[in-house]
């Protein structure tokens, strides 16, 4: 068994794919397999992946019979993994040479943790990596400076725990990662690790830049957070849960109204508040 299964999901990313693969192969940590899972690309991405696989025996290419979508494809890739840990590197991103080694070291340091997440803020209290209990993770996320603000590229996940929890639930769309972080943290300790382990490329082809995505993510994010605070597995005390709910509602109301002013669509904001069962004013 290899230590890490690096999972690279692809859909029409030929322009970026080669750089992404080379960044993985340049890792200082070398005990990995690289699984490239193509989701019915139409731009030659799968053919390029096959070419790259011929250069290194650790690369395996899988082509989906039908398009599964972003998180459906991530789940497909994870089902093919044989490593103890899962490490997503998106086909338009690049991992730094030290990134994989640091992530593996962080998770192996804390065998009780389900996953390690790269946090984007400087740590003011203790140096990274930080082990957080379920309660500490929820307190930090809902009542403090945050804890779960990263995508799959910023995470390394213990494979067995990922499978035990059912992995990503694609019904949450782009928030399927946040849904998994919340479910995992409610049941296991997690690790916050240092930032700058992976370069997240930003470009116009990304889903969060399309159409009404900003409002949709805001509404769905509120729904997901409220659900997590309502679950029986929520590790917060009743008092902390009540405070977290109040803080969540204030933040949602403020951000939604701000978005309405920016986009000049007050009716859309009012409808979103009504859907959430909230009024304009607390």
What 3-state DSSP class applies to 169? coil
- List per-block mean pLDDT (blocks of 10 residues) for the chain, which spans 282 residues: 96 95 98 98 96 97 96 98 98 95 97 92 80 97 91 96 97 94 98 90 62 71 93 97 94 76 64 65 60
pLDDT at 212: 59
Q: Does domain 4-207 have CATH number 3.90.550.10?
A: yes
d(C-alpha 105, C-alpha 108), whole Å? 5
Element (H, E) at 197: none
CA separation (Å) from 33 to 2, 47, 117, 227? 7, 19, 21, 36
Count of CB atoms situated within 10 Å of the CB of 39: 24
* DSSP 8-state code for residue 55: T
Closest CA relative to residue 91, chosen from 28, 157, 15, 40:
15
4, β-bridge pairs: 32, 85
d(C-alpha 177, C-alpha 182), whole Å? 9
Size (the chain), residues: 282
pTM: 0.90
d(C-alpha 87, C-alpha 100), whole Å? 8
d(C-alpha 140, C-alpha 32), whole Å? 32
d(C-alpha 211, C-alpha 232), whole Å? 35
Q: Give me 37's structure tokens.
A: 């899972």
**Beta strand 85-88 with 155-158: parallel, antiparallel or unpaired?**
antiparallel
What ranges do the domains of the chain cover? 4-207, 211-275
Non-local CB neighbours of 241 within 8 Å, separated by 6+ positions: 229, 234
**Beta strand 32-38 with 4-10: parallel, antiparallel or unpaired?**
parallel
pLDDT at 254: 80
pLDDT at 218: 80
d(C-alpha 57, C-alpha 60), whole Å? 8
Q: Give me 80's structure tokens.
A: 């093919």
Distance linking the first and last C-alpha atoms of the chain: 54
* DSSP 8-state code for residue 213: H
Non-local CB neighbours of 142 within 8 Å, separated by 6+ positions: 225, 229, 236, 240, 244, 247, 248
d(C-alpha 266, C-alpha 282), whole Å? 17
Model pLDDT for residues 5-26, shown as the tens digit of each residue: 999 999 999 999 999 999 999 9
Model pLDDT for residues 100-110, shown as the tens digit of each residue: 999 999 999 99
């Amino acid at each position: 068994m290899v230590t890490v299964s690096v999972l690279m999901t692809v859909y029409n990313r030929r322009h970026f794919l080669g750089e992404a693969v080379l960044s993985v192969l340049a890792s200082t940590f070398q005990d990995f397999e690289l699984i490239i899972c193509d989701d019915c690309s139409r731009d030659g991405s799968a053919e390029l992946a096959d070419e790259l696989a011929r250069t290194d025996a650790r690369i395996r290419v899988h082509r989906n019979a039908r398009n599964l979508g972003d998180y459906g494809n991530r789940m497909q890739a994870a089902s093919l993994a044989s490593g103890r840990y899962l490490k997503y590197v998106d086909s338009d991103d690049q991992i730094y040479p030290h990134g994989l080694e640091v992530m593996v070291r962080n998770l192996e340091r804390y065998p009780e943790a389900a996953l390690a997440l790269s946090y984007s803020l400087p740590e003011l209290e203790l140096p990274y990596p930080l082990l957080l209990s379920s309660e500490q993770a929820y307190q930090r996320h809902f009542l403090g400076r945050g804890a779960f603000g990263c995508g799959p590229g910023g995470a390394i996940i213990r494979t067995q725990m990922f499978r035990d929890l059912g992995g990503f639930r694609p019904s949450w769309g782009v928030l399927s990662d946040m849904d998994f972080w919340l479910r995992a943290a409610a049941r296991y300790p997690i690790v916050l690790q240092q930032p700058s382990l992976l370069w997240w490329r930003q470009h116009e082809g990304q889903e969060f830049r399309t159409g009404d995505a900003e409002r949709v993510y805001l509404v769905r994010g509120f729904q997901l957070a409220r659900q997590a605070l309502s679950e029986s597995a929520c590790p917060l005390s009743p008092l902390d849960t009540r405070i977290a709910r109040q803080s969540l509602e204030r933040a949602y109301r403020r951000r939604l109204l701000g978005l309405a002013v920016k986009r000049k669509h007050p009716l859309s904001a009012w409808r979103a508040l009504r859907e959430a069962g909230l009024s304009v004013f607390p």
